């Protein structure tokens, strides 16, 4: 019998595993707990737009009919919000799917893809699957090193990925630096702006990727309904780019990538201004609370522009993570990203944030006492 390596597509067996945030249900089973706070996956603490829920319920009776493949209702709604034509938008089965499709559309064997590290791993996985060469450029002080990325460009470079804000650090590339970078990128390269968290950014110096598409640069913006709109479970995201790039991208889109319910929810969520304002207000207040708590605990953290914060507990993840689970708190340990004492925490509700800080405070004290015993 042939082994897996003989049967698998080239490069597949070298893929690193994607580890998602631990599910609430799993923690309940393992620890016998009922009160679980999950702040590991950057989900919306206010759940889902009420208008979206109503729209999705109304659409349930139509589930026997295939959805419209190109999601025209979503594209038209986005067109009005983003001020771009609908034929510059492609809707996919979550931001991850959109990233996969970009790889399928543009990457040839041995093309080069420049990514920062650490950052969102789906870009790396897609490059590996397509047989492209990954060129990893380390962050400097948790920020993108744009000069190093420019220096890494060769004649084989096809894609350059910038996650802005970056996941897991929450840091941003600012406008002046990005524009200077973009002017120096050769025409044979496409810059992918992964803007999954762009709605949370309040810094006036943040560069909106769509502005550069309108200026004629080879830029593709990737965005999602998973975060601000609370539709992570529905899997719906989208790309925006110039029509010449969209013509290529649409050729790899499958017939029915997004289900009817997700499409209905997305359109309704875009118009739920009250819900969106409440989410942004809670995120702003929650970020302030958590940062003040980290200051009291003498913990360092990144200045985040998303709905999460990367902080250093100063305690090995191997010790802290399990004990947080025992207290019913799920955070994202960042050892896989090279931060062996750091966690990424989603900004939650007031209750979730307080419960987490109480657990951290108790465990930090316990760890310090255990060192002195």
Question: Tens-of-pLDDT digits for all 373 residues of the chain?
Answer: 566 667 888 788 888 776 677 788 888 898 898 999 999 999 999 999 999 999 999 999 999 999 999 999 999 999 999 999 999 999 999 999 999 999 999 999 999 999 999 999 999 999 999 999 999 999 999 999 999 999 999 999 999 999 999 999 999 999 999 999 999 999 999 999 999 999 999 999 999 999 999 999 999 999 999 999 999 999 999 999 999 999 999 999 999 999 999 999 999 999 999 999 999 999 999 999 999 999 999 999 999 999 999 999 999 999 999 999 999 999 999 999 999 999 999 999 999 999 999 999 999 999 998 877 6
365 and 314 in a single domain? The answer is yes
The pTM score is 0.95
Task: Please say whether the beta carbons of 313 and 360 come within 8 A.
Answer: yes
144 and 265 in a single domain? The answer is yes
Number of domains in the chain: 2
CA distances from 14 to 131, 132, 138, 206 (A): 11, 13, 21, 36
113 and 150 in a single domain? The answer is yes
**Boundary residue ending a domain (250, 272, 294):** 272
Report residue 280: phi and psi, to 5°. Answer: -65, -35
54 and 178 in a single domain? The answer is yes
37 and 108 in a single domain? The answer is no
Considering only CA atoms, which of 308, 305, 339, 344 is closest in space to residue 324?
A: 344
Decide: residue 53, CB within 10 A, 0-12 exposed, 13-18 middle, 19+ buried: middle
Residue that is written with structure tokens 């990367």 in the block? 310
Considering only CA atoms, which of 163, 158, 149 is closest in space to residue 131?
A: 158
Tokens of 175: 């406008």
Cα separation of 159 and 267, whole Å?
A: 30
Q: Which domain holds residue 57?
A: 50-272
Report residue 190: phi and psi, to 5°. Answer: -115, 130
Residue 211 belongs to domain with CATH number: 3.40.640.10
Tokens of 61: 């009776």
Sign of the Cα pseudo-torsion (153, 96, 337, 362, in order):
positive
């Amino acid at each position: 019998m042939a082994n897996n390596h003989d049967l698998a597509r080239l490069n597949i067996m070298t893929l690193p595993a994607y580890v998602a945030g631990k599910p609430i249900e799993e923690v309940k089973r393992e620890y016998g707990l009922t009160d679980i706070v999950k702040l590991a996956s950057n989900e919306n603490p206010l759940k889902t737009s009420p208008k979206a829920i109503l729209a999705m319920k109304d659409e349930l009776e139509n589930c026997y009919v295939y959805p419209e493949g190109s999601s025209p209702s979503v594209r038209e709604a986005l067109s009005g919000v983003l001020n771009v034509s609908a034929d510059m938008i492609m809707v996919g089965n979550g931001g991850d799917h959109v990233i996969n499709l970009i790889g399928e559309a543009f990457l040839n064997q041995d093309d080069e893809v420049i990514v920062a590290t650490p950052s969102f791993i789906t870009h790396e996985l897609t490059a590996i699957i397509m047989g492209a060469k990954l060129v990893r450029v380390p962050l400097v002080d948790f920020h993108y090193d744009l000069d190093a990325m420019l220096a890494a460009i060769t004649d084989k470079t096809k894609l350059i990925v910038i996650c802005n804000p970056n996941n897991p650090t929450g840091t941003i590339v600012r406008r002046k630096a990005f524009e200077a970078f973009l002017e120096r990128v050769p025409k044979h390269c496409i810059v992918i702006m992964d803007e999954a968290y762009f709605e949370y950014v309040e810094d006036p110096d943040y560069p909106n990727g769509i502005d550069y598409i309108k200026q004629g640069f080879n830029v593709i913006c990737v965005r999602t309904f998973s975060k601000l709109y609370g539709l992570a479970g529905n899997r719906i995201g989208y790309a925006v780019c110039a029509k010449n790039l969209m013509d290529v991208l649409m050729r790899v889109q499958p017939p029915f990538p997004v289900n009817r319910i997700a499409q209905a929810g997305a359109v309704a969520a875009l118009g739920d201004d009250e819900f969106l304002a409440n989410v942004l207000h809670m995120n702003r207040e929650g970020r302030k609370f958590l940062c003040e708590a980290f200051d009291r605990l003498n913990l360092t953290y990144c200045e985040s522009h998303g709905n999460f914060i990367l902080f250093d507990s100063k305690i090995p993840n191997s010790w802290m993570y399990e004990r947080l689970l025992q207290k019913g708190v799920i955070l994202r340990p960042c050892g896989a990203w090279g931060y062996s004492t750091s966690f990424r925490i989603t900004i939650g509700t007031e209750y979730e944030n307080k419960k987490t800080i109480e657990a951290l405070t108790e465990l930090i004290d316990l760890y310090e006492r255990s060192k002195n015993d």
